[in-house]
Structure 1
Amino acid sequence: MQWQPAAKLREQFLSYFEEKGSRRYPSFSLVPDDPTLLFTIAGMVPFKPYFLGLKTPEVTRATTAQKCVRTNDIDNVGRTARHHTFFEMLGNFSFGDYFKAEVIPWAWTFLTERVGLDPNRMYATVYRDDDEAADIWRNSVGLAADRVIRLGEEDNFWAAGPVGPCGPCSELLYDQGPAFSCGSPDCAPGCSCDRYLEIWNLVFMQFNRDEAGVLTPLPKKNIDTGMGLERLSSVVQQVKSDFETDLFRPLVDKACSLAGVSYGAGPGSDLAVRVIADHLRATAFMIADGILPSNEGTGYVLRRLLRRAVRFGRLLDLREPFLLELLPQVEATLADPYQELLRYRSTIAQVVDLEERRFGRTLEQGSDLLEQEIGCTKRSGGKELSGEVAFELYDTYGFPVELTEEMCSEAGLSVDQKGFAQAMERQKERARASSKQTCATMGSNAYTELADRQGPTVFLGYEMEEARGTVLALLRDGVLLDRAEEGETAEVVLDRTPFYAERGGQVGDQGTLSGEGLEAEVEDTVHPCGDLVAHRVRIRKGVLLPGATLEARVDGARRGDIRRHHTTTHLLHEALTQVLGDHVRQAGSLVSPEGLRFDYNHFAPLTPEQIQEVEDRVNEQVLKNLPVTTRETDLETAKALGAKALFEEKYGERVRVVSVEGYSTELCGGTHVCATGEIGLVKVHKDEGIGAGLRRIQATSGRASLRWSQEVSTVLRDVTSLLTVDPDALCEKTASLLEEHKALERKWRQALLQTELMRLDAVVMGRKRVGDVEVVISFYEDLDTDLLRQIGDQVKGRFPSSVSVLATKNAEKFLVVIMATDEAVAKGVHAGKLAKSLGALLGCNGGGKPQMAQVGGKFTTPLKGPLESVPQMVAEQMKG
């Protein structure tokens, strides 16, 4: 067998099945179009609708090298030769076309003739009752009967679920020789060790299983096969593990070089570089497919992989960020054929660097605290880390509980999962208790019945702002009314309306309803149920009755402001994509007459330069006065036009496509300007983070931007007049005043510190001695944290084995800083635990590191009593 690179094996496979009439598809995204899966976990996932009969395939034969991610065995990654989070699955698929008689000989020919595997080392497994497959292996392929192994359902029967398409499968095994054996006298094909290595699995999808478990032959039989490229490469390249193939070795060697270790020198360092190599490959591909770190879903998995890679780097003593230095090796081995690694190189690098630096700080702090807690647990003879401690690390320091479990396991401890879950639940209960949620009932039953009876409200607002409509129903608090009189409020349902009801981030219209002797103000317009529209009105004059015909007039000026802001969100979305990258996706919006709010996924704050560029790009389209057009079409056609859509949004068969000519295309049901020139000046006011991987831009256009400009001009005029400078000199003058202020503040702080230090002798005279530790307690009026710490440093300088408890208060709040010397910590003192205990007495939160911690809150409880209990707390800590 001749050594071959993985890239050649991949291409050989795809070309071979192209010769068999298969269409070669590029790899599909790691994020599947399947709500039951977080990731694409196998090559068949993108073709699942064809196998399930939900869609008709455009071809009957296909082949792919599919990117896959699995994290169910993440703890085994690096510990075994074969476990990975990211891997490539080579597959060929038949949708009611060829079946066993064709695919079994094809698979044998590919492995033995194209790849060059020794046929005398090959075995095949079949399902116990699959005589057809066994006969093909023996008679068509010529495999000896003792090399065709029958196994049970657990090994050789595939199913999409308890009910649905299923069928037997056949695995091809390769005997790697005694060096790979587990050593058991029972080691034979089917053993879980690496000697008889499964290379390829051929699934014969030929039955449908009903709820009773009865198997019925499918009218069209399908083929789904999967072969891991990493595993095939390890066999062909004759190495002991996937990590020694050319898919991994450059990455492994670079990681070893950075850490100053040699691969094979020890199990600890080998495990670390393997985990780093595996997780970084997965990370790069996930980011390239639009996944960003977050606290849920795919983003949570990405964050976990990145953090595990960083943590294993620390085990190799890689204290500074290092992952960026490894990304070129990922590109070198996989960018051909996966060009997305190059296309999104900048985004991948930025996300990896930012997340690594963020987590580095968390890891430093959390690891120190966890190691101390592990030490305390082991010294006391415990075998389990407290769930409260695990939760505090998670809640206070952002330290992942999985990492806590991993580090504890390495130290021979478990984690009290029940205690952790209880602490988490208590926090949720506190959050629920403190949240003041109100729920205004809409009378959903009445609205549902009305929608069923009357159907959707006809919306005329795309073409007009005035129209006549008939009152179908009046409601208040979900109850049908027979009339609404002057001064009262009601919810009015018309058969047709020009009023836009709140949806898709756009606020509802306001305006008036009028008729004979009637005037009503529309304060809001909503969708209480489906496409039914309800106008929330206040009767200004007359009596409103069901069946009345009314003139409905939208507030045109307000609608105009909303339209400008809505079209601006589309321009903004496209500009953000151009400036930041294709990973940008809309995550929500609010379009109102006063301005717009646009939420999007991104991993870092925008720089002032990026904000300026986004703003410039949007205003450039405004100045071009581009036509804005709309059309209704089906969803597939809209996607073919390149229309952007909200990922979470559910769309019907017909969709509305809004296009800014030559610039942006989106699915949208809102109201828009006819040309971008109507928008006027667009001004971005703020970019802020609103969650992990989520950001929010606030902006204005049109009249709102004009008002902002006028207000800024007024402020600028007033400030320059006050400082008696020209506008051009305002920044220079302000900087000078700030520097002068800082200099005066430094002098004042120094004088204040000297005053307090003069009192220090009197303070330390009253210290308490607890064993070999000096406990100094002092109270001050209106000092800040920095000054308290400087005083604490002075105490530490005088007493090498001491604890300082320094308190201050103002009219509303208090603060206590606790500082312990290293000698005191060595004797059992823990400032963070002291702060937590003190906080419990004062009715607030406290915590920190062993050497330094603090407690703070509203000044409602006298400090003297709790502070006087500190020496006793110290004594209890020192007892152990």
Structure 2
Amino acid sequence: MYTGNELRDMFLKYFEARGHRILPSASLIPKDDPTLLLTVAGMVPFKPYFQRLVEPPFPRATTAQKCVRTPDLEVVGKTARHHTYFEMLGNFSFGDYFKNEAIPWAWEYITEVLKIPVEKLWVTIYPEDEEAKRIWMTAGVRAERILGDPENFWAAGPTGPCGPCSEIYVDLGETKGCGKPDCAAGSCECDRFLEIWNLVFMQYNRDEAGNLTPLPKQNIDTGMGLERIASVMQGVETNFDTDLFRPIIDHVASLAGIRYKENPKNDLALKVVSDHVRAVSFMLADGIRPNNEGRGYVLRRILRRAVRYAKLLGIDKPFLESVFRIVQRDYAQAYPELTENENFILNHLSLEEKNFQATLEQGIQLLQEKVKDLVKQGETVLTGPDAFYLYETYGFPVELTEEILEEQGLAVDMIAFQTAVEEHRLLAKDQSQQMRAVIESPALMGRAKLLGVTPFVGYEQATATARIEGMFVGGEETQDAGEGEEVIVFLSDTPFYAESGGQVSDVGVLKTSRAEARVLEVKKGLTGTLYHRVQVVTGVLHVGETVEAEINSQARQAISRHHSATHLLQTALRTVLGEHVQQAGSLVTPERLRFDFTHFSPMTADGLRAVENLINEAVLKNMPIQATEMSLKEAKFSGATALFGEKYGDNVRVVRMGLFSQELCGGTHVKDTGEIGLVKILSEGGIGAGLRRIEAVAGFEALAYLRTLDEQVQEVAQILKAQPADVSKRVNGLVTQVKDLEREIGQLQAKLGKNEAEGLLKRVVEVDGVQVLAAQVHVSDMEGLRQMADLLRLKLKTGVIVLGAVSEGKVNFVTAVSPTGLSGLHAGQIIKEVAKITGGSGGGRPDMAQAGGKDPSKLGEAIDRVPTILRGFMKK
């Protein structure tokens, strides 16, 4: 029996022996692909090669690709094969070999390497693909074992590369089947026939009219699920029973004090927890951070489902770290990022688990409230929308809701719940299909592809003589651009740095003898072509003419100062806070720098001062800044810091600042640290769970900031009639004086309030046997109103109090009912009706509630209506 790790290695080595380059798995964050949140298939990293947007650097490759898919999140654990995270084994040809090689290799691998019996195998093809059928038969597949399936046609989208595909199925036996006479591979959804490998033959291009044109270079894209082939080779019932899952499942079971395969309900939860923690571990390892949007939201949702299902198993204590350790132990050899990024993974697991436990507690409290309401109203079934609200807002699995209700003899309207789930799913599906449109037009992309990489000469020079290779307006190519027009310009080479790595692009001018244009921004296309967004100021630009391209050197120098300061900042943070600090984003402009980093608590004033001191000490040492091209392997060996989650090419640029800093970076820098000048940190704060942000200024911008502060201190000193050095002492004295005065005012207000309260007690009336005090009072804020209500409750003992006051043009209300539930009255319900009269709303507990109103002119009417409102509630 082969292990999952052995099956992965066997596949890769088989295709390596047949001329394929083994490539490491790409990140789960798709590179330069705005249409995808996550890497969902083995071919995703190679889309630019298949579409020939980029010329493939090698003719054939093989990978074990990490993938995450979540459309079927709700069925994970309920079926034998659905997962969130999975590995896709694949072999790829970029215009090299085609069906004649791909099909025999697949059959040889399945039957001779894995030795799966031929009598268990079936093959499906696209019905019109007679070529594939002939090659399968030549490879050794009997004709009756080759079935036509009209769905065996793959396409990248409505237009673009496409072609027929062919699938290999394993017959798992009649006991797994549905028993229907027409049960067959490719046409039945039962568990008897398991698809293990799909071979895609990209041989056509489909245009907007649906016409198919043979591609000049045909491609091969295959995909075999590691989990599926492991289940076949290990002879187990489901993917979850393979060695890829069982160690994780058994560990979770031990934490819960149960055994796998003793209780179907527990087994479902064990599978969900194991699958989800595995997915979360790999997503974090690739630098995805939990948040409330995009791929971060997907990560957070999966993680929270794991915690919820663990709760169903009775696991109430933190457990994610211990489960991650199992994933790390079994997968780190193939995926070293699980070890390299261990601190980042563990910190986020701990923080998210802690925060979500608090959310779950809130959900339990809300459910208990709803249970009380059901019992009070004599109902026995919680509505579907209520159950879905708990599920969607508080992460409550409906199974947990059912369990809690069942203990009290109650139930959930599951039909209505499923309806709510389906409505939400359809809405989410509709939104997910609204993918971001590709900005570039086909004409522009075609031109960029022809031009290829734009040579960048801006590291060495601020100006360059270049030729205009193309111009586009609104996606359409043009030969000329006149005064006032904004165009995209392609140059033969350029000194303009394109926006990248957080650094904004250069700006500047293009000049000819008869025209001048401002370069507003520069971006890099998928093909490495630089797009110069240009506005013509005078004259006319023509395609083919020569221009002088000149960057704004003053802006470039300011950008470079801030970029070099960013490198010093990262090293200083790692020195002061620890090696767990990772860059999580940056912005470098002529005016300032912004640096986002991983850290799980606010920095102290002493910590910030230490970081600032380290940076400025490095500046004063005037260390040389050197950029060197080297292989990625050499860069890592030298200890250069890389951007977490970024995938680099074989050759990289390493920027060294003396012995202080060494990072992989393609940006522009000053020549010596002394050119940075003073660096001043402006702010430090949290921007998300486990994420902090520092903003700082360098050089002239730092000087301008300090001058502004100095001017402000001088101005305050003049107002206080004090020397600048004494400003702090004088302000502290004034603050103390103000606090003393506020205390005196508070005491006077309390005395007045007490006197007013004594007078108000004379206005108590009786409404259907209940003492009621409804009055408009004069207090400055809601706190004063609550204090007066508390004072009156002590005096009145039993009854209803409704107080209203106007503060800053708005209405405040407080209602108290004592004792709680007096005559069935509820303070929150009463105040809601009273506030409604003034155009407001509110609510609260049965004993005390507060509300606000918008129309002060209606306050008197609201107070007068209180007896009527109370009678209405008492009649109910």
Bin the TM-score by the shorter chain.
Answer: 0.5 to 0.7
- How far residue 340 of structure 1 moved from its aligned partner, in angstroms, is 0.8
Amino acid at match of 1:18: E
The one-letter amino acid paired with 2:218 is: K
Report the alpha carbon displacement of residue 338 of structure 1 after superposing the two structures with TM.
Answer: 0.9
- Shift in CA distance, 167/575, structure 1 to aligned 2, threshold 3 Å: farther
Could you say if the C-alpha distance between residues 227 and 812 of structure 1 is closer, same or farther in structure 2, counting changes exceeding 3 Å?
same
Candidates 11, 34, 43, aligned match of 1:13: 11
Q: Does 1:256 align with 2:253?
A: yes
Once the two structures are superposed, the pairs formed by residues 230-249 of structure 1 within 5 Å of their partners are 230-249=227-246
Deviation at 1:278, TM superposition (A): 2.0
> What is the 5 A alignment of 1:228-377?
228-366=225-363, 368-369=365-366
Tell me if structure 2 keeps the 8 A contact 1:586–1:646.
no
| Contact map agreement 2:60 2:93 (CA 8 A) in 1 | yes
- Residues 1:330 and 1:219: Cα distance change in structure 2 (over 3 Å): same
1:63 to partner: Cα distance: 1.0
C-alpha distance 14-703 of structure 1, shift in aligned 2 (>3 A): same
Kept in 1, the 8 Å contact 2:161–2:202? The answer is yes
Q: Kindly tell me: are residues 610 and 91 of structure 1, through their superposed partners in 2, closer, same or farther at Cα, counting changes over 3 Å?
A: farther
Note the alpha carbon deviations across 1:449-473, whole angstroms, 9 max, x for none: xxxxxxxxxx999979xxxxxxxxx
**Would you say 1:626 and 2:623 are equivalent positions?**
yes
Note if 1:718 corresponds to 2:745.
no
Shift of 1:284: 2.0
Deviations 1:31-54 (A, max 9, x none): 112222211111111112222222
Alpha-carbon distance, 1:197 to partner: 1.0
SS of 2:25's equivalent? coil
Cα deviation, residue 7, structure 1: 1.3
Which of 612, 615, 619 is 2:612 aligned to? 615
Alignment of 1:792-871 (within 5 A): 815-816=812-813, 824=821, 831=828, 840-844=836-840, 846=842, 854-856=850-852, 860=856, 863=859, 865-866=861-862
SS of alignment partner, residue 112 of structure 1: helix
* Structure 1 match to 2:216: 219
- Tell me the secondary structure at the aligned position of residue 272 of structure 1: helix
Q: Answer whether contact 1:501 1:526 (CA < 8 A) is retained.
A: no
One of 530, 533, 537 as aligned partner of 2:533: 530
Cα distance change of structure 1 residues 823 and 76 upon mapping to structure 2, 3 Å threshold: farther
In structure 2, distance between residues paired with 1:73 and 1:873: 51
User: Match of 1:131, as an amino acid?
Assistant: E
- The match for 1:385 is 385
Per-residue deviation, 1:65: 0.6
Q: Assess, with a 3 A threshold, how the Cα gap between structure 1 residues 96 and 783 changes in structure 2: closer, same or farther.
A: closer
User: How far off is 1:687 after superposition?
Assistant: 1.3
- The farther-off stretch of 11-20 and 375-384 is 375-384
Superposition deviation, residue 310 in structure 1: 3.1
Q: Which amino acid aligns with 1:359?
A: F
SS at match of 2:46: helix
Q: Does residue 160 of structure 2 align to residue 164 of structure 1? A: yes
Q: How far is 1:16 from its partner?
A: 1.8
The one-letter amino acid paired with 1:13 is: F
The structure-2 alpha-carbon separation of the partners of 1:186 and 1:286, relative to structure 1 and needing over 3 Å to count, comes to same
Q: In 2, Cα distance between the equivalents of 1:316 and 1:527?
A: 55
Determine the structure 2 residue equivalent to 1:728.
none
1:217-255 Cα distance to aligned partner (Å, 9 max, x none): 333332211111112222223333222322222332333
Aligned equivalent of 2:39: 40
Aligned length: 743
Cα distance, 1:117 vs structure 2: 2.9
Residue number in structure 2 paired with 1:49: 48
Distance 2:172 2:762 in 1: 75
CA distance in 2, matches of 1:70, 1:852: 48
Deviations 1:129-173 (A, max 9, x none): 2233333333422x3433x2423332x221212222222222121
The 3 A distance-change label for structure 1 pair 305 and 214 is same
Indicate the SS of the match to 1:174. Answer: strand
Report the counterpart of residue 182 of structure 1 in structure 2.
Answer: 178
Is there any run of 5+ residues in structure 2 with no aligned partner, and where? 403-411, 428-457, 464-481, 485-496, 508-517, 523-531, 539-551, 647-651, 718-722
| Secondary structure in structure 2 of the residue aligned to 1:66 | strand
Distance 1:259 1:631 in 2: 54
State the match for 2:99 in structure 1: 100
Report the CA distance between 1:70 and its aligned residue.
0.9
Q: Are residues 23 and 255 of structure 1, via their aligned partners in 2, closer, same or farther at CA, if it must alter by over 3 Å?
A: same
- For 2:422 and 2:822, how far apart are their aligned partners in 1? 29
What is residue 695 of structure 2 aligned with on the other side? 698
- Cα distance in 2 for partners of 1:106, 1:55 equals 27
Where do 1:422-433 residues align within 5 Å? none
Local SS of the residue matching 1:385: helix
Summarize deviations over 1:467-487 as a string: whole Å, max 9, x none. xxxxxxxxxxxx999xxxxxx
Query: Which deviations, in whole Å up to 9, do the C-alpha atoms of 1:497-521 show, x marking residues without a partner?
Result: xxx9999888999xxxxxxxxxxxx
Provide the C-alpha distance between the structure 2 equivalents of 1:77 and 1:680, rounded to a whole number of angstroms.
56
| The 10-residue stretch of structure 1 (231-240 or 30-39) with the greater mean CA deviation from structure 2 | 231-240
2: CA distance between counterparts of 1:47 and 1:870? 71
Aligned position for 2:779: 781
Between the aligned residues of both structures, percent identity stands at: 41
Q: Which residue of 1 aligns with 2:202?
A: 205
Q: 1:54/1:508 Cα in 2 relative to 1: closer, same or farther (>3 Å)?
A: closer
Q: Secondary structure of the residue that 1:222 maps to in structure 2?
A: strand
Return the letter of the residue paired with 1:150: L
In the alignment, the residues of structure 1 paired with residue 321 and residue 384 of structure 2 have an alpha-carbon distance, to the nearest angstrom, of 37
Shift of 1:762: 8.2
CA shift for structure 1 position 682 = 3.0
Q: What CA deviation, in whole Å up to 9, does each residue of 1:672-699 have, x standing for no partner? A: 7553224444332421245688754233
**Alpha carbons of 1:393 and 1:745: their partners in 2 closer, same or farther (altered >3 Å)?**
farther
User: Does the 8 A contact of 2:835 with 2:851 survive in 1?
Assistant: yes
Mark the CA change 1:699 to 1:50 in structure 2 (over 3 Å): closer, same or farther.
Answer: closer
The CA deviation at 1:177 is 2.5
**Consecutive unaligned residues in structure 1, runs of 5 or more:** 423-458, 465-478, 482-499, 510-523, 536-553, 649-654, 726-733
**Aligned-partner SS, 1:30:** coil
Residue pair 1:293, 1:693 contacting (<8 A) in 2 also: no
Separation of aligned partners in 2, 1:152 and 1:27: 31
| Equivalent residue letter for 1:62 | A
In 2, Cα distance between equivalents of 1:112 and 1:797: 91
1:78 matched residue in structure 2: 77
Query: Corresponding residue for 2:543?
Result: none
> Which residue of structure 2 aligns with residue 548 of structure 1?
none
TM-score normalised over the length of structure 2: 0.68
Give the partner amino acid of 1:225. T
Which segment drifts farther, 323-332 or 714-723?
Answer: 714-723
Please name the residue that 1:476 is paired with: none
1:59 aligned partner, one-letter code: F
CA distance in 1, matches of 2:220, 2:155: 13
2-side partners of 1:361 and 1:117: how far apart? 50
Q: Which residue of 1 aligns with 2:492?
A: none
Residue among 24, 27, 34 paired with 1:26: 24
Please report how far the alpha carbon of residue 12 of structure 1 lies from its aligned counterpart in structure 2 after TM superposition.
Answer: 1.6
Contact 1:809 1:859 in 2 (8 A): no
Structure 1 residue 30 displacement after superposition: 0.7
Cα RMSD between the aligned structures? 6.0
Q: Is the 8 A contact 2:757 2:791 kept in 1?
A: no
Q: 1:374-453, aligned counterparts within 5 Å?
A: 379=379, 385=385, 410=414, 412-413=416-417, 414-415=419-420
Rate the CA distance shift 1:533–1:104 in 2: closer, same or farther, 3 A: closer
In structure 2, C-alpha distance between the alignment counterparts of 1:331 and 1:110, rounded to whole Å? 29
Flag the 1:418–1:169 CA change in 2: closer, same or farther, 3 A: closer
- Residue 328 of structure 1 deviates from its aligned partner by 1.4
Distance of aligned partners of 1:372 and 1:189 in 2 relative to their CA distance in 1, 3 Å threshold: farther
2:559–2:588 contact (8 Å) kept in structure 1: no
Aligned partners of 1:598, 1:45: CA distance in 2, in Å? 32
Matched residues in 2 for 1:877 and 1:149: separation? Answer: 75
Question: What is the SS of the residue equivalent to 2:583?
Answer: coil
For the residues of structure 2 that align with 1:265 and 1:806, how far apart are their CA atoms? 61
